[in-house]
């Protein structure tokens, strides 16, 4: 059993109350430039106590999900949800329990609560760990009701005023011991119940002791179109906090007799070849350094030492792919890549679009975020004498969007 806390993110709903959007159901709507689901996932991925994350999605949403999460898909175990939230959670629990290192504690969270903060997650985990209900108890974050509560009659008039004393609004993540909540869900399903709107009510129904911990006013569930617009506006206000970084890279390789060069991933027939340990693709080498520079991750030589025989003759897209993965691990999102090639020959223009397409494919960037340029060195110096080819690259990456 794993020490890490497991997380189930339920994202299989249709978002009917939020209405139809070309971006898909509300968990895929963009707030602050990224899908709601991507923000929510970041909140848990960045929490040190969190281990396995199961993401429950609708069977029709696989493509939307991949587009929303990109490389972060690797961080989740994907499972298909059901027609009710309760069924989706149950499938997530079964997937989590089937993992080799299944956790003891699980947090169940709505994918559409993207503003969950670390302190709330901590309070829930702490309360479940401290459970003195014989190991079967749980904890949920909740906020006291601030408004006066009215019961409405069928004609829209007030049928009564309900005392708000002791009333709380339940939030997620809701935390439980995995075995206990699995058993409670199974028992509820067996007795034909599928109307529970949260997991605490299933635990309560099964006789477990569930405690309330302090929730957070910001931890709202995005339910309506207005909720999504407000969330987007809130993140736009935060934009000054976003950490945009620029990195640059330079590389040069000697030209020797040969029959082709490889530049920005494209093989070009030529009367010379670039000499190097790998395929000597100066364009991709400079880009690798530019990406690594945005997060202080050293340079290409640190990650792929020329002394290491495994990189001999290696196609350089492997180096860029590693740099892209390092940027993603550090929470970065690449915004653009720009490579300038400096050579007298071969002519770059006929190959420029193919080079941009290669870089776009390797980095996951759209074509209009990738630029390849070329210049001669006006026959000056070693580049001008065709003794080598050089490249300069620049990349911009946004970090810390989840804060
Ligand atoms: N069959 C379902 C229904 C809901 N959810 C998830 O449960 C969370 C909370 O549900 P809710 O806000 O009600 O989402 P929807 O069911 O999508 O919304 P609506 O009721 O407006 O259609 C959401 O993250 C939603 O994707 C789910 O995984 N499976
Ligand atoms: C789980 C929940 O978010 C707790 O407040 C809520 O019950 C979900 O309800 P919904 O009807 O599925 O939106």
Please check the confidence at residue 402 and state whether its pLDDT lies above 60.
no
Cite the annotated binding site for a divalent metal cation by residue number. Answer: 251, 253, 285
Whole-angstrom distance, CA of residue 337 vs CA of residue 372: 8
The Å distance, Cα 67 to ligand 2 centre, comes to 26
Give the pLDDT score at 67: 94
Please check the confidence at residue 99 and state whether its pLDDT lies above 60.
yes
Cβ-contact 138, 174 below 8 angstroms = yes
Give the pLDDT score at 273: 97
Question: How much of the chain, in percent, has pLDDT values that exceed 90?
Answer: 88
From the list 210, 241, 238, 191, the residue with the least C-alpha distance to 108 is 210
Whole-angstrom distance, CA of residue 303 vs CA of residue 300: 5
Q: Is the CB of 11 under 6 A from ligand 1?
A: yes
The one-character DSSP state at 2 is B
Phi-psi region of 367 (alpha: psi -120 to 50; beta: other; left: phi over 0): alpha
Cβ-contact 345, 313 below 8 angstroms = no
Nearest bound ligand to the CA of residue 84: 1
Nearest bound ligand to the CA of residue 143: 2
Give the pLDDT score at 306: 84
Nearest bound ligand to the CA of residue 81: 1
Tokens of 362: 């390797």
The Å distance, Cα 72 to ligand 1 centre, comes to 22
The Å distance, Cα 170 to ligand 2 centre, comes to 8
Please state the rounded mean pLDDT for residues 369-395. 98
User: What torsion, rounded to 10 degrees, do the Cα atoms 160, 161, 162, 165 define?
Assistant: -160
Cβ-contact 330, 293 below 8 angstroms = no
Please give the C-alpha separations between residue 113 and each of 85, 173, 236, 316, in angstroms, as whole numbers: 14, 9, 17, 40
The Å distance, Cα 130 to ligand 1 centre, comes to 30
Q: Is the CB of 13 under 6 A from ligand 1?
A: yes
Whole-angstrom distance, CA of residue 391 vs CA of residue 274: 13
Taking the model in full, what pTM does it have? Answer: 0.66
Cite the annotated binding site by residue number. Answer: 251-253, 277-278, 285, 299-301, 375-378, 382, 385
Provide the pLDDT confidence category of residue 403 given band limits of 50, 70 and 90. Answer: very low
Provide the pLDDT confidence category of residue 147 given band limits of 50, 70 and 90. Answer: very high
Q: Is the CB of 198 under 6 A from ligand 1?
A: no
CATH of domain 5-238: 3.90.550.10
Q: Which residue would you say has higher pLDDT here, 239 or 82? A: 82
pLDDT tens track for 326-378: 999 998 999 999 999 999 999 999 999 999 999 999 999 999 999 999 999 99
Three-state secondary structure string covering 263-328: ECCEEEECCEEECCCCCCCHHHHHHHHHHHHCCCCCCHHHHCCCCCHHHCCCCCHHHHHHHHHHHH
Cβ-contact 36, 43 below 8 angstroms = no
The secondary element (H helix, E strand) that includes residue 88 is helix 85-97
From the list 11, 41, 40, 39, the residue with the least C-alpha distance to 26 is 11
Share the mean pLDDT of the chain: 94
Cβ-contact 57, 130 below 8 angstroms = no
The one-character DSSP state at 148 is P
Q: Is the CB of 111 under 6 A from ligand 1?
A: yes
Characterize the bridge pairing of strands 332-342 and 388-399.
antiparallel
If you count them, how many residues does the chain have?
A: 403
Please state the rounded mean pLDDT for residues 105-124. 97
Q: Is the ipTM of this complex over 0.90?
A: yes
CATH of domain 242-401: 3.30.1330.50
Q: DSSP of 161-199, one letter per residue?
A: EE--TT-EEE-S-EEEEHHHHHHHHHHHHHTT----SSH
Q: Classify the C-alpha dihedral 182-188-191-194 as positive or negative.
A: negative
For the chain, the distance separating the N- and C-terminal CA atoms, rounded to the nearest angstrom, is 31
Whole-angstrom distance, CA of residue 248 vs CA of residue 250: 7
Q: Is 332 helix (H, G, I), strand (E, B) or coil?
A: strand
Whole-angstrom distance, CA of residue 371 vs CA of residue 357: 10
Please check the confidence at residue 1 and state whether its pLDDT lies above 80.
no
Domain boundaries, the chain: 5-238, 242-401
The Å distance, Cα 142 to ligand 2 centre, comes to 12
Q: Is the CB of 15 under 6 A from ligand 1?
A: yes
The Å distance, Cα 288 to ligand 1 centre, comes to 41
Q: Is 102 helix (H, G, I), strand (E, B) or coil?
A: coil
Nearest bound ligand to the CA of residue 223: 1
Q: Is the CB of 112 under 6 A from ligand 1?
A: yes
């Amino acid at each position: 059993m794993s020490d890490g806390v497991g997380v189930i993110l339920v994202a299989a709903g249709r978002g009917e109350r939020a209405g139809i959007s070309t971006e898909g159901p509300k968990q895929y709507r963009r707030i602050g430039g990224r899908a709601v689901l991507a923000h929510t996932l970041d909140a848990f991925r960045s929490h040190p106590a969190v281990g396995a994350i199961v993401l429950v999605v609708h069977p029709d949403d696989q493509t939307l999900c991949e587009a929303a999460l990109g490389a972060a898909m690797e961080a989740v175990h994907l499972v298909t949800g059901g027609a009710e939230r309760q069924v989706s959670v149950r499938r997530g629990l079964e997937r989590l329990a089937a993992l080799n290192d299944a956790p003891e504690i699980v947090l169940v969270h709505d994918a559409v609560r993207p503003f969950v903060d670390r302190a709330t997650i901590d309070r829930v985990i702490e309360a479940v760990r401290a459970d003195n209900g014989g190991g079967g108890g749980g904890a949920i974050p909740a906020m006291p009701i601030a408004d006066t509560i009215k019961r409405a009659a069928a004609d829209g008039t007030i049928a009564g005023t309900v005392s708000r004393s002791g009333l709380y609004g339940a939030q997620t993540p809701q935390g439980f011991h995995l075995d206990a909540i699995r058993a409670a869900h199974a028992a509820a399903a067996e007795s034909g119940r599928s109307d529970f709107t949260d997991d605490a009510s299933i635990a309560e129904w099964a006789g477990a002791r569930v405690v309330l911990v302090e929730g957070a006013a910001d931890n709202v569930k995005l339910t309506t179109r207005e909720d999504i617009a407000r969330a987007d506006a809130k993140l736009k206000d935060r934009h000054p906090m976003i950490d945009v970084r620029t990195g640059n890279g330079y590389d040069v390789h000697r030209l020797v007799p040969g029959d082709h060069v490889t530049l920005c991933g494209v093989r070009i027939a030529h009367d010379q070849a670039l000499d190097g340990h790998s395929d000597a693709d100066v364009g991709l080498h400079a880009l690798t350094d530019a990406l690594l520079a945005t997060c202080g991750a050293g340079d290409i030589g640190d990650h792929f030492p020329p002394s290491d025989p495994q990189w001999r003759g290696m196609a350089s897209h492997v180096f860029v792919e590693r740099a892209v993965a390092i940027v993603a691990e550090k929470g970065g999102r690449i915004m653009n890549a720009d490579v300038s090639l400096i050579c007298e020959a071969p002519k770059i223009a006929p190959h420029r679009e193919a080079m941009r397409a290669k870089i776009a494919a390797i980095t996951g960037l759209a074509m209009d975020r990738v630029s390849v340029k070329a210049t001669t060195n006006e026959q000056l110096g070693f580049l001008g004498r065709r003794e080598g080819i050089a490249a300069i690259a620049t990349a911009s990456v946004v970090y810390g969007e989840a804060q």
